[in-house]
Amino acid sequence: MSIHKSVLLKEAIESLNIKNGDVVIDATLGGGGHSIEILERIMPGGVLVAIDQDEETIEKFRNRSLKFKAEGKIFLINDNFANLDNILADLKISKVDAILADFGISSDQLEKTDRGFSFQKDAPLDMRMNQKEGITAEAVADSYSEEELAKIFHEYGDERYGKRIAREIVEQRKNSPIKTTKDLVLLIEKSVPEKYKHQRIHFATKVFQALRMEVNKELENIRKFIPEAIKILDKKGRLSVITFHSGEDRIAKEIFRENARGCICPANFPICRCGKKPIVKLVSSKPIIPGLKEIGENPRSRSAKLRTIEKI
């Protein structure tokens, strides 16, 4: 049973503008809340491609989706959404009507004691979405230079004491490796001022977020995914993304605007010479954010932003 609460559920589903018979991709299955609502809208006759890196997530959703199986096609894919073009090529799908991607981490994953995503539970310092491949957070802490660690703490976590924490990691690993979440929390606690330990947000939050994003190459995957998603949208098809981090939102906003922009000739050109035409249009100029009621019921939704484009 999933404990995950899908963020901006009603708003995200409505943004896709889907109907019976549509071909839809849920690029980040997670707890499955968005996918269930998509199936309710596109069946009978629809096709859902649900993607997730976590094999357990795929298997959990398999049973939940059985009641829709006779009404259309459901493909559950254990892969990274950055591989979207290869996934669809294998399925022999060339165009789709809508794509949804929620870039947040599932509450189900945070609660898994063996994954190391949460600083509230002692666990091996892993943090991989797909435990079959990639470098672990322990390996990052053990092998990255002080400068590299400080950089990811700043860029992915906006951690003001990132340099101090990076220095402490490098010093500690000379004597013993940082193997568990508890080891890392104690190290961070030792590295930051006393007053910083009593803020509204836990003092380890930003470092854990930064390590998770580095381990899973989250921003790089988003940069690869969005252009591929735009390419395979059918005319009037929609792409909606939910971001939780300023870096994620900046990437989405920039790629959306770049593809929605027409002529790029200098302003003093009397006529257009570049011939560039917009590929998509922005469904709204500003992102949709959760209301106070949703934030109260699900505090993890507070930084969420929903952006949508439509293929021209």
Q: pLDDT by residue for the chain (312 residues), tens digit each?
A: 555 678 999 999 999 999 999 999 999 999 899 999 999 999 999 999 999 998 989 999 998 998 898 889 999 999 999 999 999 999 999 999 999 999 988 766 666 677 888 898 899 999 998 888 889 999 999 999 999 999 999 999 999 999 999 999 999 999 999 999 999 999 999 999 999 999 888 999 999 999 999 999 999 999 999 999 999 999 999 999 999 999 999 999 999 999 999 887 887 888 888 888 899 999 988 999 999 999 999 888 999 999 999 999
Number of domains composing the chain: 2
Sheet with 47-52: list strands edge to edge. Answer: 73-78, 47-52, 23-26, 96-102, 233-243, 305-311, 280-282
Helix (H, G, I), strand (E, B) or coil at 240: strand
By residue range, what is the domain housing residue 230? 9-108+218-311
What CATH number corresponds to the domain at position 137?
Answer: 1.10.150.170
Contact 246, 219 (CB under 8 A): no
297 and 262 within one domain: yes
Distances 207 to 160, 181, 217 between C-alpha atoms, Å: 10, 11, 15
Is 54 among the domain residues? yes
Beta strands in the chain (DSSP E): 23-26, 47-52, 73-78, 96-102, 233-243, 280-282, 305-311
pLDDT per residue over 95-143, tens digit each? 999 999 999 887 666 666 778 888 988 999 999 988 888 899 999 999 9
At 285 the pLDDT is 86
Contact 241, 254 (CB under 8 A): no
Is 2 among the domain residues? no
What CATH number corresponds to the domain at position 72?
Answer: 3.40.50.150
Query: Is the CA virtual torsion 266, 230, 103, 141 positive or negative?
Result: negative
Using the 3D structure, point to which of 194, 215, 236 is the last residue of a domain: 215
**Statement: the pTM of the whole predicted model exceeds 0.85:** yes
pLDDT per residue over 181-193, tens digit each? 999 999 999 999 9
Using the 3D structure, point to which of 200, 215, 230 is the last residue of a domain: 215
239 and 191 within one domain: no
At 183 the pLDDT is 95
Is 121 among the domain residues? no
Of 286, 117, 290, nearest in space to 207 by CA: 117
CA distance 254 to 267: 21
197 and 144 within one domain: yes
236 and 200 within one domain: no
Is 114 among the domain residues? no
At 115 the pLDDT is 84
